[in-house]
């Protein structure tokens, strides 16, 4: 039996309305994640706090001293790279200093969740990008993604499992959703490429990015993971496509955690060029991250 899964809790957020609402928020008020009929919110961070303060370190680990994929940035704890906006958002800002060194921010949630058997589990965020022109974003690589918590306990990548909810490179208005798993090279997820889908992004403004696990069948082969932008499906995988219950378990039946970061350079986007500009115009801004479960 092959399940045909339609968006269960799709919601559209007109960009102009959201931007107006955000501009009216008091300086330290958070932008709460929405309520969805038939779903219970399990966790959220709405990035409350005064402008220029740090993220809630009870919710997030601030990552430094890490480079992967031949990236060139240094992740720091500096407020110039990572700060609460004061309008209920977190801003991750790549910066280039006078010596040509790039710095940026990366946070990883302390919170973990496991998609529940017999339920739909949803993880989502509301994200926008800085308004630098595409020509000025070569090498900029923002991402909202998930790793299997087993990587924190010694399991190597990609065996730990990875689900990229949103990635985009070089300022291109294309959002990518990808799954990584099993072994490198090759394996069930065709590493290092992974199994991915893509969708156009209307603009650099606010959009909802969601990943949804449907475990209602309680059969690993027919369970699915589905990606959405603003409620529009753009990618889906099933246990049957992965082809191994053990590998599927790392993606849909084991603890997972969130990552928000903006990388600079690396294997996919390539390095910045002379036209690349850092600062707010190349940032990724997130209004909330939340997890829901069907009732």
- Assign 181 a pLDDT band (cuts: 50, 70, 90): very high
- Please give the Cα distance from 159 to 195 (Å, whole number): 14
- Please give the Cα distance from 256 to 245 (Å, whole number): 17
Span 202-215, pLDDT tens digits? 999 999 999 999 99
- Please give the Cα distance from 72 to 271 (Å, whole number): 8
Q: Is pLDDT of 10 > 90?
A: no
The CATH fold assigned to 30-294 is Jelly Rolls (2.60.120)
Confidence at residue 27, expressed as pLDDT on a 0 to 100 scale: 42
Q: Is pLDDT of 5 > 60?
A: no
Confidence at residue 14, expressed as pLDDT on a 0 to 100 scale: 39
Q: Is pLDDT of 145 > 70?
A: yes
User: Of 125, 161, 131, whose CA–CA distance to 144 is shortest?
Assistant: 125
> What whole-number percentage of the chain has pLDDT above 70?
90
User: What is the end-to-end Cα distance of the chain in Å, rounded?
Assistant: 24
- Assign 67 a pLDDT band (cuts: 50, 70, 90): confident
Contact present, 181 and 242 (Cβ < 8 Å): yes
- Assign 73 a pLDDT band (cuts: 50, 70, 90): very high
Cα dihedral across residues 117, 38, 149, 235: positive or negative: positive
- Please give the Cα distance from 256 to 290 (Å, whole number): 13
Longest dimension (CA), the chain: 59
**Residue 53 DSSP symbol:** P
- Please give the Cα distance from 7 to 125 (Å, whole number): 16
Mean pLDDT confidence for 150-155: 98
Contact present, 281 and 130 (Cβ < 8 Å): yes
Phi/psi-derived region of residue 50, left when phi > 0, alpha when psi is between -120 and 50, beta in every other case: beta
C-alpha neighbours within 13 Å on the C-beta side of residue 86? 9
Read off the pTM.
Answer: 0.90
Mean pLDDT confidence for 93-116: 98
**CA distances in angstroms from 248 to 55, 84, 120, 167, 176, listed in the order given:** 32, 36, 16, 22, 21
Buried b (16+ CB within 10 A) or exposed e, 172-184: eeebbbbbbbbee
Mean pLDDT confidence for 163-184: 99
Which single residue is written with the structure tokens 């706090």? Answer: 49
Token output for 49:
């706090």
Structure-model confidence comparison of residues 24 and 231, the more confident one: 231
Confidence at residue 9, expressed as pLDDT on a 0 to 100 scale: 37
Taking all residues of the chain, what is their mean pLDDT, rounded to a whole number? 92
Q: Is pLDDT of 186 > 80?
A: yes
Mean pLDDT confidence for 113-142: 98
């Amino acid at each position: 039996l092959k399940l045909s899964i339609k968006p269960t809790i799709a919601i559209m957020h007109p960009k102009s309305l959201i931007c107006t609402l955000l501009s009216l928020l008091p300086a330290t008020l958070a932008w709460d994640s929405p309520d969805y009929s038939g779903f219970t919110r399990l966790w959220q961070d709405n990035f409350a706090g005064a402008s220029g303060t740090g993220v809630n370190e009870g919710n997030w680990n601030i990552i430094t001293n890490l480079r992967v994929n031949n990236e060139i940035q240094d992740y720091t704890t500096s407020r110039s790279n990572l700060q609460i906006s004061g309008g209920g958002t977190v801003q991750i800002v790549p910066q280039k200093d006078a010596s040509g060194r790039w710095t940026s921010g990366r946070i990883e949630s302390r919170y973990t969740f496991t998609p529940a058997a017999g339920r739909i589990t949803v993880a989502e965020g509301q994200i926008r990008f800085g308004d630098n022109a595409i020509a000025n974003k070569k090498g900029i690589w923002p991402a909202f993604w998930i790793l299997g918590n087993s990587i924190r306990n010694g399991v190597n990548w990609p065996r730990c499992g990875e689900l990229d909810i949103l990635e985009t490179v070089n300022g291109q208005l294309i959002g990518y959703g990808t799954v990584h798993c099993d072994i490198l090279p090759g394996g069930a997820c065709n590493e290092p490429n992974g199994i991915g889908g893509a969708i156009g992004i209307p603009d650099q403004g606010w959009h909802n990015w969601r990943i949804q696990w449907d475990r209602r069948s309680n059969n690993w082969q027919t369970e699915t993971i589905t990606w959405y932008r603003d409620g529009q499906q753009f990618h889906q995988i099933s246990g049957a496509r992965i082809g191994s219950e053990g590998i599927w378990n790392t993606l849909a039946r084991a603890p997972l955690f969130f990552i928000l970061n903006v990388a600079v350079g690396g294997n996919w986007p390539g390095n910045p060029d002379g036209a690349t500009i850092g600062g707010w115009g190349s940032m990724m801004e997130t209004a909330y991250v939340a997890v829901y479960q069907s009732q």
